[in-house]
Amino acid sequence: MSKKKNKNNQKKYFQVKKNETIASCLERIKQEGYQPIRRIEKPIFEEVGSKIQPIDRIIQFEAILSKHER
Protein backbone atom coordinates (compact mmCIF):
# COMPACT_ATOMS: atom_id res chain seq x y z
CA MET A 1 0.00 0.00 0.00
CA SER A 2 1.45 3.29 -1.05
CA LYS A 3 0.59 6.26 1.09
CA LYS A 4 1.77 9.78 0.41
CA LYS A 5 0.70 12.70 2.56
CA ASN A 6 0.87 16.38 1.81
CA LYS A 7 1.77 19.02 4.40
CA ASN A 8 -1.69 19.32 5.95
CA ASN A 9 -2.71 15.61 5.71
CA GLN A 10 -5.65 16.46 3.45
CA LYS A 11 -4.58 14.23 0.54
CA LYS A 12 -3.44 10.60 0.48
CA TYR A 13 -2.72 7.94 -2.17
CA PHE A 14 -3.99 4.37 -1.76
CA GLN A 15 -2.69 1.52 -3.89
CA VAL A 16 -4.77 -1.58 -4.62
CA LYS A 17 -2.86 -4.45 -3.02
CA LYS A 18 -2.14 -7.80 -4.65
CA ASN A 19 -5.17 -10.10 -4.30
CA GLU A 20 -7.37 -7.13 -3.26
CA THR A 21 -10.40 -6.03 -5.23
CA ILE A 22 -11.01 -2.43 -6.18
CA ALA A 23 -14.20 -2.49 -4.09
CA SER A 24 -12.31 -3.58 -0.97
CA CYS A 25 -9.69 -0.88 -1.54
CA LEU A 26 -12.46 1.72 -1.81
CA GLU A 27 -13.95 0.40 1.44
CA ARG A 28 -10.52 0.71 3.12
CA ILE A 29 -10.31 4.32 1.92
CA LYS A 30 -13.75 5.04 3.38
CA GLN A 31 -12.87 3.38 6.72
CA GLU A 32 -9.83 5.67 7.06
CA GLY A 33 -12.08 8.71 6.62
CA TYR A 34 -11.09 9.60 3.06
CA GLN A 35 -13.04 10.07 -0.16
CA PRO A 36 -11.53 9.04 -3.53
CA ILE A 37 -11.27 11.82 -6.10
CA ARG A 38 -9.12 10.27 -8.83
CA ARG A 39 -8.13 6.83 -10.11
CA ILE A 40 -4.60 6.39 -11.48
CA GLU A 41 -3.43 3.38 -13.49
CA LYS A 42 0.23 2.77 -14.30
CA PRO A 43 1.26 -0.06 -16.61
CA ILE A 44 4.11 -2.44 -15.79
CA PHE A 45 6.15 -3.56 -18.79
CA GLU A 46 8.53 -6.46 -19.38
CA GLU A 47 11.12 -6.77 -22.11
CA VAL A 48 10.69 -10.05 -24.01
CA GLY A 49 13.43 -10.44 -26.57
CA SER A 50 13.45 -7.18 -28.49
CA LYS A 51 9.81 -6.35 -27.69
CA ILE A 52 8.32 -4.60 -24.68
CA GLN A 53 5.00 -6.04 -23.50
CA PRO A 54 2.61 -4.93 -20.76
CA ILE A 55 2.40 -7.59 -18.02
CA ASP A 56 0.46 -5.92 -15.20
CA ARG A 57 -0.75 -2.59 -13.86
CA ILE A 58 -0.72 -0.61 -10.64
CA ILE A 59 -4.02 0.98 -9.61
CA GLN A 60 -3.94 3.88 -7.16
CA PHE A 61 -6.60 6.21 -5.82
CA GLU A 62 -5.98 9.80 -4.85
CA ALA A 63 -8.19 10.61 -1.88
CA ILE A 64 -8.97 13.61 0.30
CA LEU A 65 -10.29 13.74 3.85
CA SER A 66 -14.06 13.51 4.04
CA LYS A 67 -15.76 16.74 5.08
CA HIS A 68 -16.70 15.41 8.52
CA GLU A 69 -13.03 14.41 9.14
CA ARG A 70 -11.48 17.81 8.36
Question: What is the DSSP code string of 32-59?
Answer: TTEEEEEEEEEEEEEEETTEEEEEEEEE
Of all residues in the chain, what percent carry a pLDDT higher than 70? 83
**pLDDT tens-digit map of 18-33:** 999 999 999 999 999 9
pLDDT for 2: 55
Terminal Cα-to-Cα distance of the chain (whole angstroms): 23
Predicted structure pTM score? 0.76
Checking if the pLDDT of 46 tops 70, the result is: yes
DSSP assignment, residue 68? Answer: G
pLDDT for 10: 87
pLDDT for 52: 94
